Amino acid sequence: MKHSVFLLVCIIGLATACKDEVLPKPKAFLRLEYNQAEYAQTDLGCTYVFDKNLAANIQENKDCSLI
C-alpha cells in the first residue's frame, strides 16, 4: 500500500512539474560606463613607489605592507 501511494505521488509530481513555459529574455544593458581613471604616484617611504588610482583607499602598516 505504501509503495503504491509513493508511486502515485511521484507520477503526479512528474506530470505536473513538466511545463513548457517560454519566458522572453529581458533586454540587456551591456554598456557599462566608468569614470576616467586618475592615477597619482604614491610614495609611502618604503622601498617601492607605485601609481595608485585616486578612487582607491589603501591602509599602510608599519612594516610597509598594504591592506
Domain boundaries, the chain: 32-67
16 versus 46: which is more confidently predicted? 46
pLDDT at position 18, please?
A: 65
CB of 5 within 8 A of CB of 12? no
Residue 14 in this model has a pLDDT that exceeds 70: yes
**pLDDT score of 30:** 77
pTM listed for this prediction:
0.44
Q: Is residue 16 scored above 80 in pLDDT?
A: no
Alpha-carbon gap, residue 30 to 21, rounded angstroms: 26
Buried b (16+ CB within 10 A) or exposed e, 22-35: eeeeeeeeeeeeee
